Every structure is written in C-alpha cells, then in structure tokens.
C-alpha cells in the first residue's frame, strides 16, 4: 500500500521567516495531496491541497509544490506568524479525492515571536 514519509518531525522558526515541510510518497498512482493543520485540542483542518495535474498551488502565505517524478510534495509557509504554530499533516490518495488518504506522521511547527 501507499507509504507517506514526512520531515522534519519538529520545526522551529522565527516569526517572519519561512517554513518548509516535505513529504515523499511511494505509490506513483497517487494523484491527490492535501495538507492539514491541527491546533491543540482540535481535529485536523484542510489548509491547501494539490492534484497531480498541477505542479504548484498558492493561497496567500501558503503554497504547495508537487514533483511527480521524484514523488515528493512540500508545504511552504512564508512570513510565519505565531498563529501558524500547530501540527501539520500531509496525506496522499489515489482516488482523486479525500477517500482512502494515507497520512504522514506530522510536523510540529513552532513560530517564535
């Protein structure tokens, strides 16, 4: 089955700096890649997603890039703010949607004021 690896497991950045989280996947048939943000005591919330027919997608300070050849995708957060502090999860699916998601192990991001 699909295997998703996520790095780093923890990341600490200064407010205003950029943060990058990377994920690799094993199944070349995977075609949908969402990113979720989980704040303390809450469930994961979708922040951005990308499909295999697109190489990059941006939403304000958040962007995701996808390299299908290398089978990896990355989350980029620019101009980080303290409210960006959370755990971030990547995921992959072959179903062109959120069905049958395989999740990475998560990255705990801390933004220092």
Partner 1 sequence: DAGITQSPRHKVTETGTPVTLRCHQTENHRYMYWYRQDPGHGLRLIHYSYGVKDTDKGEVSDGYSVSRSKTEDFLLTLESATSSQTSVYFCATLTGRVGETQYFGPGTRLLVL
Binding site for partner 1 (CB under 8 A): 1, 6, 34, 36, 41-46, 49, 89, 96-99, 101, 103-106
Q: For partner 1, which is the closer residue by CB, 92 or 111?
A: 92
Least CB distance to partner 1 at residue 51 (A) = 8
Least CB distance to partner 1 at residue 98 (A) = 4
88 by Cβ neighbours in 10 Å (0-12 / 13-18 / 19+) ranks as: buried
- Distance (Å, rounded) from C-alpha 105 to C-alpha 4? 8
Q: For partner 1, which is the closer residue by CB, 18 or 29?
A: 29
Distance of CA 111 to the CA centre of its chain: 17
Least CB distance to partner 1 at residue 50 (A) = 11
- Copy the structure tokens of residue 20: 């990058």
Residue 62: phi and psi, rounded to 5, are -115, 135
Q: For partner 1, which is the closer residue by CB, 19 or 44?
A: 44
């Amino acid at each position: 089955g699909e295997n998703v690896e996520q790095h780093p497991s923890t990341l600490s950045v200064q407010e205003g700096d950029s943060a990058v989280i990377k994920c690799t996947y094993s199944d070349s048939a995977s075609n949908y890649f969402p990113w979720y943000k989980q704040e303390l005591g809450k469930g994961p919330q979708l922040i951005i997603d990308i499909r295999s027919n697109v190489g990059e997608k941006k939403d304000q300070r958040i962007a995701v890039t996808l390299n299908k050849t290398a089978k990896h995708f990355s989350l980029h957060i620019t101009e980080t703010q303290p409210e960006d502090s959370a755990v971030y999860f990547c995921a992959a699916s072959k179903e062109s949607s959120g069905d049958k998601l395989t999740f990475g192990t998560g990255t705990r991001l801390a933004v220092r004021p």
